[in-house]
Amino acid sequence: MTDNNYDEIVQLLCDRLSSLASADVNITAETNLISDLSIDSIKLLNLIMEIEDAFDISIPINALADVQTVHELACLIAKIKSAS
Amino acid sequence: MSSTITKLNAPLTQAFDFQPSSETQLMPTPTRNTLAQRLVGFETLTDALEYAAQGITGYNFYDARGKLRSILPYSLLRNNARNLAKRLVGFGLERGSRVAIIADTSPEFVELFFACRYAGLVPFAMPVPVNLGSHGVYVQQLKGMLESSQASLAFANLDYINFLAEAAEKVTLLEWVGTPAQLNELPAQEVTLQPNQPDEVAYLQFTSGSTRMPRGVVITERALMCNLMGIVCNGLEITPDDRSASWLPFYHDMGLVGLVLAPMVTQISVDYLATRDFAIRPLQWLRLISRNRCTVAFSQPFGLKLCTMRVRESDLKELDLSCWRAAGIGAEMIRPDTLRNFAEKFASAGFNGNAFLPCYGLAESTLAVTFSKIGSGFHSIQIDSKALIDKRMAVRLQAEGRKSNEFVNCGRPLPGHIVKIVGEDGQPLEERMLGSVLVQGASVMSGYYNNPVETEKALKPDNWLDTGDIGYLYDGDLYITGRRTDVIIVNGRNIRAQDVEELAEQQPEVRSREASAFGVNDEDGSTTVVLVIECRLTSVTERHALIKRLQQLVYMAFGVNCIVELVPPHTLPRTSSGKLSRFAARQGYIQRTNLNDQLAVVESGDR
């Protein structure tokens, strides 16, 4: 994974999340999707669909169990992307 | 635009027929069988599979893009299951020993499930993790099931084996943990597989939610075959032209009994979409129905809501749902508007509202209790809200303008089953009176595995099962008005109030019996979890931190947001025995927050 790639993913996630999140928060890589953004299950499904479409990947459901922050989600996407 | 979007927007045939040229074309199992359809007379699951295996129908598994990934004709299922059974025999387990299987939507799960039956073992399905950040809670949930079932073996495929291995640590009775592929590498024993008996346990079904004390419903072959027969003959009136499509998880009773076992015992083909893939792209399910001309497909109301929310005009043009004759709806309270909105939205795609088939059931009665009449759509009645609250009686709305509640007709019990409504004293009530729903019949469970306390709570004298639901009978038909306060249903997920409270009580700031959880309904009918905590903290920062932590824990465990309210000690109402009353706690919360339109009447006191 190149740093460039990771930064791009984080940027895209932050953009998408700021439109999904109800709270007015400044989203960074450290933002916790659960406690800071209160992403509900429907918004989460939408986000996953958008990510899958944007990066043309499939995110395995088991991997999300270890994701809590924007950084962790970005790393997961980068990992899947580089493997595909 | 990414290639995915292009594919999704492509005409239906193109979206489905997309196949890389390097792969050989896989064909789904046909709808029409070469074997004469037989609906009755099977004593056990393996009996039914031996018959189905003589035909050419079976299970088909599709991926997120609607591409056929693998097929499992019943003939192949039988051979693979028998083959695996001979390897299972090598463990030298007693008949009836439990086998845990993490049930993603895959051929491997179905093969293992039947392999257990051929080997005389009792399989049970465990869930896949579905929530963000749920790793720790999920492992605890698996551990709870492994311990409660006293399982001897546990299986997961590569995606989930690490979670399973973690959960299996220190579970003393467990002899072996592995993948289906590892089982296949073990030697097959030279044995003749023994037939099963109707009195033997067919499987355990864990009811969703509870983490610390999960309850495994025990279902015998006899109960299962009785319920399946009622479903396919009386509920669905299955014919040789039927075909099913399903996204329901294999670890839920409706997914497993209704859409894996029922199709097999009637020898019809099924097209599967993984639950996760449905949740992200719900229209793939409708595309499967449309393309493969499926006739029978079930969903929770929430699934229909997802379809209605996510469909675009361009999608409608590509769908032809006129083949769908049985749109079964169950597993949670059915709101008429959910069905109306779906029917309205998909009418132009050929969906016929008469296909709606509301039904009522629960895992403790194998699956189905009542079915409405097939082919006649859903029916509902407007009930006067005041009479319902004041007299606990269902009175048809007489004058316009009075406040009313609309409830869906869930039909009549399957043959050989009786439903009765009882009051708080346990005495039967007359028609149209609101009370607890009890059911009696051959489909009722034997009990919760190794859990006499819970079994005694649910099974009353003469084997009447207390369903935990509230409703009334009207002209012989069952109407469900709500759950008792111990279960909160959010977006189709069952959450036990007790589990939410226990999670809170594990926090150092929260004492035992000082947390109360319940659901409140928004105006649009959606439910929110509320957690009220008696709190002694005075610092604003500490109080805020506790609220945030509790919200995060609830999310990780149950995948839902919740409202946390901190109240002074002694605010929560208690019963004379010192027990918290969730019902009263909810009333108090509603008063404090001035929520309107909360129907107190649909829920009686705590169990």
Sign (positive/negative) of CA torsion B309, B313, B315, B317?
A: positive
pLDDT for position B210: 54
CA closest to B138 among chain A residues: A65
Set of chain A residues whose Cβ sits within 8 Å of the Cβ of B159 = 60-62
Exposure string (b/e) for A36-49, b if CB count within 10 Å is 16 or more?
bbbbbbbbbbbbbb
The whole domain housing A77 covers: 3-83
Residues of chain B with pLDDT > 90, as a percent, come to 67
Nearest CA distance, B381 vs chain A (angstrom): 31
Q: Which two tokens stand for residue B182?
A: 């590892």
CA closest to A60 among chain B residues: B159
The pLDDT confidence band at residue A2, using thresholds 50, 70 and 90, is: low
CB atoms within 10 A of CB B314: 10
B2–A56 C-beta distance less than 8 A: yes
Rounded to whole angstroms, the Cα distance separating B231 from B371 reads 8
Q: End-to-end alpha-carbon separation of chain B, Å?
A: 54
Exposure string (b/e) for B443-463, b if CB count within 10 Å is 16 or more?
bbbbbbbebeebbeebbeeee
Set of chain B residues whose Cβ sits within 8 Å of the Cβ of A66 = 133, 135
A64–B559 C-beta distance less than 8 A: no
Closest CA to B362 of B148, B558, B207, B235: B207
pLDDT for position B4: 37
Nearest CA distance, A56 vs chain B (angstrom): 6
Residue B77 near residue B71 (C-beta atoms within 8 A): no
pLDDT for position B239: 97
Does residue A37 have a pLDDT over 80?
A: no
Residue B195 near residue B426 (C-beta atoms within 8 A): no
CA closest to B545 among chain A residues: A35
Interchain contact B6–A (C-beta under 8 A): no
Nearest CA distance, B3 vs chain A (angstrom): 7
B2–A53 C-beta distance less than 8 A: yes
Set of chain B residues whose Cβ sits within 8 Å of the Cβ of A34 = 132-133, 551-552, 555-556
Interchain contact B528–A (C-beta under 8 A): no
Interchain contact B131–A (C-beta under 8 A): yes
Q: Which two tokens stand for residue A59?
A: 């995110």
Set of chain A residues whose Cβ sits within 8 Å of the Cβ of B128 = 61-62
B470-527 confidence digits (pLDDT tens): 899 999 999 998 776 577 878 777 788 888 888 898 888 888 788 999 998 877 778 8
Give the burial class of B372: count Cβ atoms within 10 A of its Cβ; 0-12 exposed, 13-18 middle, 19 or more buried: buried
B128–A55 C-beta distance less than 8 A: no
Residues in chain B: 607
Interchain contact B62–A (C-beta under 8 A): no
Rounded to whole angstroms, the Cα distance separating A55 from A81 reads 7
Residue B480 near residue B434 (C-beta atoms within 8 A): no
Number of structural domains, chain A?
Answer: 1
Minimum-distance CB partner of B133 among A38, A42, A67: A67
CA closest to B275 among chain A residues: A61
Set of chain B residues whose Cβ sits within 8 Å of the Cβ of A54 = 2
pLDDT for position B591: 83
Residue with tokens 């190794």: B450
CA closest to B306 among chain A residues: A42
pLDDT for position B555: 87
B214-264 confidence digits (pLDDT tens): 889 999 999 999 999 999 999 999 999 999 999 999 999 999 999 999 999
pLDDT for position B13: 37
Q: What is the CATH number of the domain that holds A48?
A: 1.10.1200.10
Set of chain A residues whose Cβ sits within 8 Å of the Cβ of B140 = none
Interchain contact B129–A (C-beta under 8 A): yes
Ranges of residues in chain B with a pLDDT under 50 are 1-22, 209, 596-607
Residue with tokens 């008949």: B95
Q: Which two tokens stand for residue B595?
A: 């929520």
Within 154-173 of B, beta carbons closer than 8 Å to A belong to 159-160, 163
Set of chain B residues whose Cβ sits within 8 Å of the Cβ of A39 = 132
Exposure string (b/e) for B487-517, b if CB count within 10 Å is 16 or more?
bbbbbbbbbbbbbbbbbbeeeebbeeebbbb
Name every residue whose Cβ is closer than 8 Å to that of residue B361 and which is 6 or more positions away in sequence.
B253, B254, B330, B331, B367, B368, B369, B370
Q: Which domains does chain B have, with CATH numbers?
A: 26-299 (3.40.50.12780), 300-483 (3.40.50.12780), 490-602 (3.30.300.30)
Nearest CA distance, A2 vs chain B (angstrom): 21
Rounded to whole angstroms, the Cα distance separating B313 from A29 reads 37
